[in-house]
Structure 1
Amino acid sequence: MLGRRKPEPVVEAVPWERVALFSVTDLVRPSTLRRKKLTGQPAVRVATMVGGVRHFAPSVLVSATREEIPSYALYDATRPETPVCSLSPEKGGARYRVVDASGTELGLIHRTPAAKRTIQHGWWLQQPGHADVVARYHWAKGGVKDVAERGVDTVVRGAGKLVEGVVDSVLSFGAADTGAGGSYVPRPITWIAEGDEEPVALTAGHVDGIRTYAPRASWLDRRLAFALGVLREA
C-alpha cells in the first residue's frame, strides 16, 4: 500500500564476550531524514550498520531496581534470561560490588570522593590482582599515588582555583580543545592502572555524539567495564 512505512529491520544482539567498543544507552537508531529516532531498553550496545543505517545492537540488557540507591542486573542480550553480572550498592552507594552469575566477586566500582572530583573522574574501579584503575583530569600533575599523597592543592594546574563540587558532567572530558574552526573537541578519558604491565585499562570518548567506551587492557574484565559504564550513564 502506498504511504505505508517499511517495517524496522531486525537488529541482532551481539555476544558480550566479543564486544570491543560499546555505549550504554537506550538508543536503537538515531533520527534520520525520514524517521524519528528509535529507542529501546537500556543496554550495553554496539554500533552496527543495518540496511545502510547506523543502529545500536544490544549486547547486555540493563535492569535497575526502583530504590533510592538502585541495584543493577545485567543480562546477556543473546539469551535474555541469562545473567551476566550484578551490581550491588555498598556504603550508601559510594561503591558497588560486582559479582558474576555464580556470585563470585569480579571487582568493585567506587564513586570518587567529593574532595578529589576536581582532579579525578567520578567513578573508578578495582579488579583483584591489579592496581586501582583511575581516570584523572589532564591538568592533574604526577601519578595516581602522587595525587593521593599530595592532595588537590598541589596537583591542580592552570589559572584560578577550581571549585569543589563542580558538576561531573561538565568536567567529564577535562578542558575543551578548540579546533581550527572553533568547534568543541572533547578530550577522551583514560582509566589507568599505574605500575601494571598494561596500564591503560579503559578509554571513553564521543563517537558521533554518543559516549563510547573501549576496553584496552587484555586483563580487564569486560563486565567491570560494563558496570562502570552503567553507573556513569545512570
Structure 2
Amino acid sequence: MGILGRKKDEPTIDPVPWDGSGGPDWFTVGDVLRSATFRRKALTGERAVRVPTMRDGVRYFAPAALVSSADRADSEPPSYELHEAEQSGNLLCALTPVKGGARYRVTDAQGEELGLVHRTPAAKRTIQHSWWLQQPGHSDIVARYHWARGSAKEIAARGKERAKREAGELAGSVVDSILSFGAEDDERASLRTPNHVTWRAEGEEERVVLTLGHLDGVTVYQPHASWLDRRLAFALAVLREA
C-alpha cells in the first residue's frame, strides 16, 4: 500500500522523432511540458517545438525540435538553430537574420535555403499578423484580413483611403504615420491580433496554409497545406514566440 498523500510519479514523455515526411499536425513553441490545472501543477522543460500528446487522459507537449539561440554582435537580432529532440546532434534548420532582423533566412543542415520569414509593419491595418512566409515555388503566405485582397500596393492604397475616410480631417501625413505604425509595439499588436489567425497563399490550390489557435492555454499552430515545409512553420512560430 502506498503512503497516503504521496504524489504519483510523472510519466516519461519521449521526444517525437522527425522523419522529414511532413511533420506534426499540431505544434507549439515553448517550455511547457504540461499546462497547469486545478489538480496539477505545470511542468516545464527545455525550449522546444512541441507536439500535443495524451497520456492517461492528460495532455502533454512532447519535444520534437530543441530551440537554441545565439546572441549576435552589436545588439543585432539573435540567430536560431533547431535540432532534432530525439537526436540533438542533428540540425533540423537554422534561422539567420538579414537586414536588421525584419527578415530571416531559413536553411537546412546542408545550408540550402528553405525559404524566408518576414516581419513587416507596413499595411498594419490589413493584416492579422506581421510575420509571414515565402517558400520557393509558391505564393506569399500572409495572414490578411478578409477584405484585404489584391497586391501589396493595392492593399496599401485601399488601406490609406479607408484610414482617410475614418480620420476625416486628419492630414495625409498623419494618416501615413498611422498606416506605417510599427509592429514593435507589442502591447498594441496583441490587442489588435485576434485569438485565431489564418495564413493563406493566394492562387494556391490549398489556400489555407497555417492557422494559430489555443489549446490548454498554450498557443498552437496547425499546418494545413501539404506542400508547406514544416520547418518554415517552425521558424515562424519560433520568431513569434521569441
**Common fold: TM-score over 0.5:** yes
Specify the SS of the correspondent of 1:118: helix
Q: For 1:123-175, what per-residue CA distance to the aligned partner results, in whole angstroms no more than 9, with x for missing partners?
A: 1110001111111134x4323546445252236699669953463222221xx
Specify the SS of the correspondent of 2:96: strand
Q: Which runs of 5+ in 1 are unaligned?
A: 174-185
- The one-letter code of the counterpart of 1:43 is A
Deviation at 1:207, TM superposition (A): 2.4
Partner of 1:141: 148
Give the alignment's TM-score, normalised by structure 2.
Answer: 0.81
Partner of 1:77: 85
Deviation at 1:105, TM superposition (A): 0.3
Kindly indicate whether residue 161 of structure 2 is the aligned counterpart of residue 154 of structure 1: yes
Partner of 1:7: 9
> Contact 1:29–1:55 at 8 Å: present in 2 too?
yes
Kindly indicate whether residue 51 of structure 2 is the aligned counterpart of residue 30 of structure 1: no
**CA 1:211–1:82 in structure 2 vs 1: closer, same or farther (change >3 Å)?**
same
Kindly indicate whether residue 98 of structure 2 is the aligned counterpart of residue 90 of structure 1: yes
Partner of 1:200: 208
Specify the SS of the correspondent of 2:126: coil
**CA 1:41–1:155 in structure 2 vs 1: closer, same or farther (change >3 Å)?**
farther
Q: Which runs of 5+ in 2 are unaligned?
A: 169-174
**CA 1:141–1:111 in structure 2 vs 1: closer, same or farther (change >3 Å)?**
closer
- Alpha-carbon separation, structure 2, partners of 1:136 and 1:31: 33
**CA 1:4–1:111 in structure 2 vs 1: closer, same or farther (change >3 Å)?**
same
Most deviating of 71-80 and 188-197:
188-197
- Alpha-carbon separation, structure 2, partners of 1:157 and 1:209: 38
How high is the sequence identity, in percent, across the aligned residues?
A: 51
**CA 1:98–1:63 in structure 2 vs 1: closer, same or farther (change >3 Å)?**
same
From 112, 117, 122, the counterpart of 1:109: 117
Specify the SS of the correspondent of 2:238: helix
Kindly indicate whether residue 77 of structure 2 is the aligned counterpart of residue 56 of structure 1: no
Q: Which protein has the larger Cα radius of gyration, Structure 1 or Structure 2?
A: 2
Specify the SS of the correspondent of 1:39: strand
Most deviating of 190-199 and 84-93:
190-199
- Alpha-carbon separation, structure 1, partners of 2:40 and 2:217: 18
Kindly indicate whether residue 145 of structure 2 is the aligned counterpart of residue 124 of structure 1: no
Deviation at 1:70, TM superposition (A): 0.6
Deviation at 1:62, TM superposition (A): 0.6
CA RMSD in angstroms, aligned pairs only: 2.4
Deviation at 1:44, TM superposition (A): 0.9
Specify the SS of the correspondent of 1:79: coil
Deviation at 1:63, TM superposition (A): 0.6
Q: Report the structure, 1 or 2, having the larger helix content.
A: 2
